[in-house]
Structure 1
């Protein structure tokens, strides 16, 4: 009770600074999320799953400022035929976006859905609420209650084009909350791409319902802003023989916390979540927090996270695999590794397994170390300059995570982004 009392003041201050959308089909879910948020309070450093990451800048009611910078980044996904959906400072920009009418997929805007008859009524906030147990995720509840905009996507077939959420920032002082809901019907398939800076401070939620024999592919590039603070949450539930794959590449950014909560509820389902992170400087802090629940037979999950840190950067990984009773023949794999390019950077890891079934194959591992001096010497002895040799070994280290991207074109895009970042940060 004492801890909750300490949380009440910042929680009520944050709530008081925001406007709760009222009315329409999301009204019940929003009010329920608000009540849950008030009951749990915003995160504090004393919370078990926040002890490695200070939530201060994510929970202060005052807006956060981040300097606008000219683009020094490679263009992403420009060579791919896609459905572009553009947000500027967290608000949907219809003029910059493509026509949303496409075969095999329906796309609506959260802010435009007042009717109680919309399909998303049964999904909005549902997976987020499920994901609050056994670990509280108050920033996600805050989002469900207050997010003013986002996209509602229902996939009924196999659309020929991926959907690309493109985020653009035009204001130095700006907060943004977006809540996206995606439902894949049985046998459907979809690829979602995300890139660009949303706002100086961003709180995002993505809820994905993957139906039986459906497949969802997700590739996200974040951190284009040097000073952005962001907390993102993915909640997904998988049906029988379904597949979920998500990959995130993070470069730059001041503080990023990516949470992914996966429920495998249908037999023979597979979920892969991966990330590659490159950070430079003492202000860089990157946190991946993953919770995978196996609640069905013969399911597979993979967690593959690699972080490259230098000049005092900090990386965090918290990953758990929970195998429930009866979830036999589970195959759970988890690996988190860091490459520290100097003695000032640090990697904090908390891998966990909790298993209540006896016919399983689960493993987890975490390592942290410096660059291989023998490999570095070998490359230099063959004429490769030291900086270039270091970059090549860095890319090789990150390759296992990038390999989780199934599509070759997208995989090349991610490798190109990493290469460009390393070139800009040479030395």
Structure 2
């Protein structure tokens, strides 16, 4: 089912580990021709265009995209008590870690009358996107809303695709559990809009939704393409591709746990990547046997098998844990689990990962729901330069420069000299004029 990639004996000074562990094809450029007309139509025709796209892509026509307050209340009232308890625990843990991330203003007094304040300012209005395709990701409501709320964002809107009619009476609205999570978090501005058209709605503003300053949240290739095309018109969090897990393991790992965790990510999407990096051929064989057994017992068998047998998944054999560390650092996985002896020490050697899960009792599934960490993470190797969603994503830094005449006088000659060195005499004159007789 899952292929092997043997890197044992490779010349560690010359081999390109990132190229050796390929990823799923995720060609944003190829989707541009389909997405650009959607963006243009929403910009030009607003809600009329959105209604047409909802009918075409979601199979339901929605003429009033704003979710009524009564529907949010009804969804929360009808929510299974156990699901509500799980959401409340997840919210509490995430809010605690987000609160700990909050940064205070930093004030620096450089000299008498010379002060610079580094202010943290929340984004004014954000649009949060929650997918509703292969899986209604109610957890993504929490992961987007909570850090925005903790950051102090004053205006939050959320969009999720409308669903076809169902016995619960939520036809034409987002999935009921998503609505319930919004109500639980106090989000009352919710729109039944999916796909690229939702991103365009946020970016341009479509009555009754005012334009936003920033869009966050995961989505399929069309959502990601829309975010790329609209970047600049609106801020975005990232261009997230298919989900991925890498597991670094040695002979101490429990094969059943490793196999279950590989399956948990494969369950998301046929393009999801599940990669095991190990120096134990025995573990590799045991994991393969466990995959055969466990996949057959899962609900989404075909989706999982497609993912695990794809080019983006595999078991990578290495000489030792040191080489394994190099491989996973090069791969820069969205999620990285460490199943080795002294796992915490090994985790300390990891530079590139969206999130690191240490030891046998910290599976990625924990991070998806109740770890207190955020599961909106960089994919496609972007963890080598980018971070997951956090409070910081919803704040801006502003320098407040507060100088007196005395403070400016102390550096005026330096400013004039540097301005002349750049052949910008007007810059120097703007200082000199303040001290002319």
Q: Which has the higher helix share?
A: 2
Question: TM (normalized to structure 2)?
Answer: 0.25
Q: Which has the higher contact order (CA 8 A, sep 6+)?
A: 2
Q: TM-score, normalised by structure 1?
A: 0.25
* Structure 1 or 2: more strand by fraction: 1
The structure having more radius of gyration, on CA atoms, is 2
